[in-house]
Amino acid sequence: MTQVDERFMYVNMGPQHPSTHGVLRLLLKTDGEIVEHATPHIGYLHRGLEKIAERVTFPQFTPFTDRLDYLASMNCNLAYALTVEKLLNIEIPRRAQIIRVIMAELNRISSHLIAFGSFSSDMGAFTPFLYGIREREFINDLFEMVCGNRLTYNYIRIGGVSKDIPDGFIEKTKEFLDYFPAKLKEYNEVLSYNAVFVKRLANVGVITTDQAIEYGITGPNLRASGIKWDLRREEPYLIYNELDFDVPVGKGEMGTIGDSWDRYMMRIYEMGQSARIVGQCLDMLPQGDFTAKVPKVLRVPQGEVYVRAENPRGELGFYLISDGSIKPYRLKIRAPSFANLSIFPLLAKGVMVADIVALIGSLDIILPEIDR
């Protein structure tokens, strides 16, 4: 901002603000209650991950991908592993592939639970937040069983997974799958169709299909705008082409296609689909190795790939250039939230100040991924 116009009031929101989902700073130019212009300022969590990637070896970078999008560490691990494996050109055992799908989908559920919970508390309902965390703790327990950590797993490695799933994991996961659908129903009863909640979200922050494509929006936000685009279907990786699941698309049930309510609801629908996928995978889990043979000192052949995977927030892509040494020459991370947030100034134009919070929450951004 260079010039200050005295007819407007400038409000600085963040970087410390409970409803910005991290250290996002917004500079709002307001005319009374109406937002004239919003400028996002990012980079308060810029950790230089891309530079770090050039200074560590290929396997050493896996833990850093955990911290890329910490709500969906498994998915980030997976996308990175897929990228390096594409260059290495190795075959992953089927058991490892299925374990990866189970973990990725469980993590998708737990990530959407946080999206659901924090969004509800942004909207002034604190109880659903506690519900979301309650179910998330269940999944955290499952992950703790397989890898010993609750948040940053470093479980999906180059070549497979770090260890086989322990005894009792399948039973406990089945227990979760029996328990979870009833909870989803409860969320809908408590929050999704609540009249106040719907009033605050329907027709707010509509992203049209053209806008969504122009800004490179992906994931649930894109699907809420009515485009059936899911990389698990369009460019199937692992065993997704063998699985039976639906791709929910925004229909404008409460207002317009692509409004905040649609974006919120995509996540609820997707949790149900992910639970379906996990159930199918548990039934088809074969015996076998959990990892392919990968040398200790990993030299990745010279080459250049761009591999993308469907993360809870959209398309996570790694653009990897290798010069044949043990370290990446260049690793560009194409983060979904980065593109999803770039549309924000457009959405925020002309809305009420209170709707800003709804907009950020419905986009479900995560800052470490934006700033990297």
Partner 1 sequence: MEAKDIHQLLVNRFHDRIKDFQENTFPNAVVVDGSSIVEVCGFLKNEPGMEFTSLISISGVDLKEQSKLMVAYHLGSMQHKHKIVLKVETDRNNPHVPTIEMLWRGANWYEREAYDLYGIIFDGNSDLRRILLPDDWEGYPMRKDYVYPKRYHTWNV
Partner 2 sequence: MGVLENSLPPNMLFTTVDKFLNWSKKSSLWYMLFATACCGIELMQAGASRYDLDRFGSVFRATPRQSDLIIVAGTITHKMADRVKKLYDQMPSPKYVIAMGSCANTGGPFFKDSYSVLKGVDQIIPVDVYVPGCPPRPEALIDGIIKLQQKIMEKKNLVKS
| Residues that bind partner 2 in the complex, under the rule CB under 8 A | 15-16, 18, 22-23, 43-48, 51-52, 55-56, 63-64, 66-67, 70-71, 114, 118, 129-130, 133-134, 136-137, 140, 150-152, 367-368
**Residue 8 interacting partner from partner 2, partner 1, none (CB closer than 5 to 8 Å by kind):** none
| Min dist. Cβ of residue 21 to partner 1 (A) | 17
Residue 109 or 207 having the CB closest to partner 1: 207
How far is it, in rounded angstroms, from Cα 128 to Cα 298? 46
How far is it, in rounded angstroms, from Cα 44 to Cα 308? 26
Residue 272 or 345 having the CB closest to partner 1: 345
| Min dist. Cβ of residue 305 to partner 1 (A) | 5
Which long-range contacts does 282-289 make (Cβ < 8 Å, 24+ apart)?
282/102, 282/170, 282/173, 282/174, 282/177, 284/98, 284/242, 285/95, 285/98, 285/99, 285/102, 285/170, 286/94, 286/95, 286/98, 287/95, 288/93, 288/94, 288/95, 288/96, 289/93, 289/95, 289/96, 289/160
| Min dist. Cβ of residue 300 to partner 1 (A) | 13
How far is it, in rounded angstroms, from Cα 229 to Cα 162? 31
Residue 132 or 250 having the CB closest to partner 2: 132
Q: Is 219:240 a contact under the CB 8 Å cutoff? A: no
**Residue 150 interacting partner from partner 2, partner 1, none (CB closer than 5 to 8 Å by kind):** partner 2
Q: Is 43:369 a contact under the CB 8 Å cutoff? A: no
**Residue 235 interacting partner from partner 1, partner 2, none (CB closer than 5 to 8 Å by kind):** partner 1
Residue 126 or 306 having the CB closest to partner 1: 306
**Residue 255 interacting partner from partner 2, partner 1, none (CB closer than 5 to 8 Å by kind):** none
| Min dist. Cβ of residue 234 to partner 1 (A) | 6
CB atoms within 10 A of CB 317: 21
| Min dist. Cβ of residue 269 to partner 1 (A) | 21
**Residue 213 interacting partner from partner 1, partner 2, none (CB closer than 5 to 8 Å by kind):** partner 1
Residue (of 338, 339, 369, 345) closest to 359 by Cα position:
345
**Residue 137 interacting partner from partner 1, partner 2, none (CB closer than 5 to 8 Å by kind):** partner 2
| Cα-to-chain-centroid distance, residue 128 | 20
Residue (of 160, 184, 26, 167) closest to 90 by Cα position:
160
Q: Which residues contact partner 1 (rule: CB under 8 A)?
A: 42-43, 46, 48, 50-51, 54, 86, 213-217, 227, 229, 234-235, 303-308, 315, 317, 319, 321, 330, 332, 334, 338-339, 342-343, 346, 371-372
Residue 138 or 245 having the CB closest to partner 2: 138
**Residue 215 interacting partner from partner 1, partner 2, none (CB closer than 5 to 8 Å by kind):** partner 1
**Residue 16 interacting partner from partner 1, partner 2, none (CB closer than 5 to 8 Å by kind):** partner 2
- Type and span of the H or E element at 339: helix 336-342
| Min dist. Cβ of residue 75 to partner 1 (A) | 18
Burial track 52-67 (b if 16+ CB lie within 10 A, e otherwise): ebeeeebbebbebbbb
